[in-house]
Amino acid sequence: MKTLHLYLLRQVLASVCMTVAVFTFVLLLGNLLREILALLVNRQATLAVVGEAIALLIPYVLVFALPMGLLTATLLAFGRFSADQELTAARSSGISLIALVSPILLLSVVLSGLSAWFNLQVAPQCRVAYKRLLLEQGLEKPANLLSENRFVKDFPGLILYIGRVEGTRLKTVVVYQMDTNQVQTNLTTAWGASNTPPVALAEVVRRIVSAPTARLVTNPTNQEMTLAMEDVDFLDLESMNSPHAAEYDQPLPTPRVSPAAVQPKLSEMTFRQLLGEYYEARRQRLDTTPVAVQLHRQVAFSFACLGFTLIGIPLGVKAHRRETSAGVALALILVLVYYSFIILGQAWDTRPNLFPQLIVWAPNFLFQGAGALLLWRANRRG
C-alpha cells in the first residue's frame, strides 16, 4: 500500500511541477508581451528591471497556475493509471479507490494552504510592487485618479467607486457625497467592539448618486474635471428620497493627494487591508459589497486546489485516456466553468441584492460536491 501511495504521489507531483511551470510561463508571457516588452523596445528598462518584474509577477500568476496545474496533473496521472490497468490491478488486490487516493487528497489540502498564503498576502503585495516598478519606469502614467475597482477617496467631500474604466468612458459609477458636519459618537473596531473613544467629527454619506455609465470631461484651461453621468439614480439618506435623472454632471474638486500616492485597487489588497477597508466603508455608510466580494474571493479561491483534485480524480479514472491533449482539454473546460462564477461575482459587486459575495463560493461547493459524489460512485464500482 505504501509503495502504491509513493508511486501515485511521484506521478502527481511530477505532473504538477510540469503543468504549473507551463501555465506560469504562459501567464507570464501574456503580461510580459503586454507591459514589459514596450519597456525593452523603447529602451526604458534594463534586463535587471525585466528580471525584477518577472520575479514580482511569479507569485501573482501562481495564484492561478497552481490550481490549474494540479487539476491537469490529476487528470493526466489518473487517466494513465486507469488506462494502463494499474487501477484494476490495485482493486483486484482489495485496495479501494478512496484508500488509494488519500495521499493525493492530503496533498491538495497542503497546496490549498499554500494557495491561501499566496492569495491573502504574497500575491497582492507583489502585484502592488510590480505596478510601482512599472510606474517608476514611466510605463504607467498616473494622470487619471479614477482607477477602477476601488474606493477613490482623493477628492474632498466625495468618495467614488468605478467598476470599469475604458479611457474616458466609465461603467458602474457610484458617487458618495459626504457630509462632514455629522458627529460620530463612537466608532466600532474591526472586531465589533464599541468602547472606542468618541470622535468629534467624521465624514458620513449624505447622498448616493449612481449611474451605469459616465464620461470623464476635462477642461485643460482651468484643470477641472467633471463626471457626465447618464441614467442617474439619487438616494438622499436624510429624506430617503430617490429621484431619477437622465443626465447629471458631478464636478470633481482638486484632489487631496498626488496621483502617485493613490492606494491599490481592492483586487490588489491583502486580506488584512481588505478587512480594514471593509470596516472603514461600513463606518462611513458606504456599500461594502465590492470589498466583501474581494474578501470572499480571496478565501474561496484558496480552496480551488481541493475542489479541482476531488473532481479531477474520478474524471481521470472515467476518461481512461493516456493522451496528454485529452487531459489538458478537459482541465481547460473545468477551469472555464470555475472562473465563470468568479467573474460573475465580481461583475455584480455593486448589486448587493444578488449576493455576489456568495456567488464566488458556488464553484467550490459545485466542484467539491460533484467530485465527492463521483469519487464515491467510482469507489463503489470497484
Mean pLDDT of 312-327: 74
pLDDT of 168 > 90? The answer is: no
How far apart, in whole angstroms, are the C-alpha atoms of residue 113 and residue 127?
20
pLDDT value at 257 more than 70: no
276 occurs within a structural domain: no
Shared domain check, 234 and 120:
no
pLDDT digits (tens, 9 = 90+) for 25-44: 988 887 776 666 656 655 55
Higher-scoring residue by pLDDT: 308, 132: 308
Q: What's the pTM?
A: 0.69
Among 260, 285, 311, where does a domain finish?
A: 260
Cβ–Cβ under 8 Å, residues 270 and 121 = yes
Query: For the chain, what is the mean pLDDT?
Result: 82
**Is the pLDDT assigned to residue 216 strictly greater than 90?**
no
Range of the domain at 247: 151-260
Q: Are 129 and 7 members of one domain?
A: yes
The answer on pLDDT for 340 being more than 90 is yes
* Residue 345 belongs to a domain: yes
Evaluate whether residue 267 is within a structural domain: no
Same domain flag for 61 and 37: yes
Q: Per DSSP, which regions of the chain are E strands? A: 151-152, 158-166, 169-179, 204-219, 224-236, 244-252
User: Could you tell me if residue 160 is inside a domain?
Assistant: yes
- Same domain flag for 321 and 214: no
Q: Is residue 304 in some structural domain?
A: yes
Q: What percent helix, strand, coil does the chain show, rounded to 5? A: 60, 15, 25
How far apart, in whole angstroms, are the C-alpha atoms of residue 131 and residue 140?
Answer: 8
Asked whether residue 243 falls in the same domain as residue 333, the answer is: no
Tell me the pLDDT tens digit for each residue of 169-206.
889 999 999 886 654 444 444 334 444 444 434 578 88
With vertex at residue 202, the alpha carbon angle to CA 199 and CA 203, rounded to the nearest 5 degrees, is 170
- C-alpha cell of 36? 514589459
From 242, 260, 278, give the residue that closes a domain: 260
Residue 272: inside a domain, yes or no?
no
CA 342 to CA 366: how far, in whole Å?
A: 13
Least reliable range by pLDDT among 227-231, 341-345, 378-382: 378-382
Q: Is residue 26 situated within a structural domain?
A: yes
Residue with the bigger pLDDT between 358 and 180: it is 358
Confidence label for 141 from pLDDT (cuts 50, 70 and 90): very low
Evaluate if residue 65 carries a pLDDT over 60: yes
Same domain, 133 and 24: yes
CA 175 to chain centroid, in Å, comes to 24
The proportion of the chain whose per-residue pLDDT surpasses 90, expressed as a percent, equals: 37
Question: Which residue type occupies 121?
Answer: Q
In a domain, residue 229? The reply is: yes
Using the 8-state DSSP alphabet, how is residue 266 labeled?
G
Residues 102 and 171 in one domain: no
Which residue has cell 448618486? 209
- Domain check: are 156 and 217 in the same one? yes
Residues 251 and 322 in one domain: no
**Mean predicted confidence (pLDDT) in 231-243:** 89
Distance of alpha carbon 325 from alpha carbon 321, whole angstroms? 10
Same domain, 312 and 190: no
In the sheet that holds 224-236, the strands lie side by side as 151-152, 158-166, 169-179, 204-219, 224-236, 244-252
Residues 96 and 181 in one domain: no
* 150: CB partners within 8 A, 6+ apart: 161, 263, 264, 265, 266
Query: What would the mean pLDDT of 68-85 be, rounded to a whole number?
Result: 86
- Looking up cell 466609465 gives 170
CB neighbours of 180 closer than 8 A, spacing ≥ 6? 157, 201, 202, 203
Residues 6+ apart with CB under 8 A from 59: 118, 122, 123, 126
C-alpha cell at 165: 474604466
My answer on whether 56 and 96 are in the same domain is yes
* Buried-state track 50-66, b at ≥16 Cβ within 10 A, e below 16: beebeebbbbbbbbbbb
Question: What is the Cα–Cα distance from 24 to 72, expressed in whole angstroms?
Answer: 13
Mean of pLDDT values over 264-287: 89
Number of domains in the chain: 2
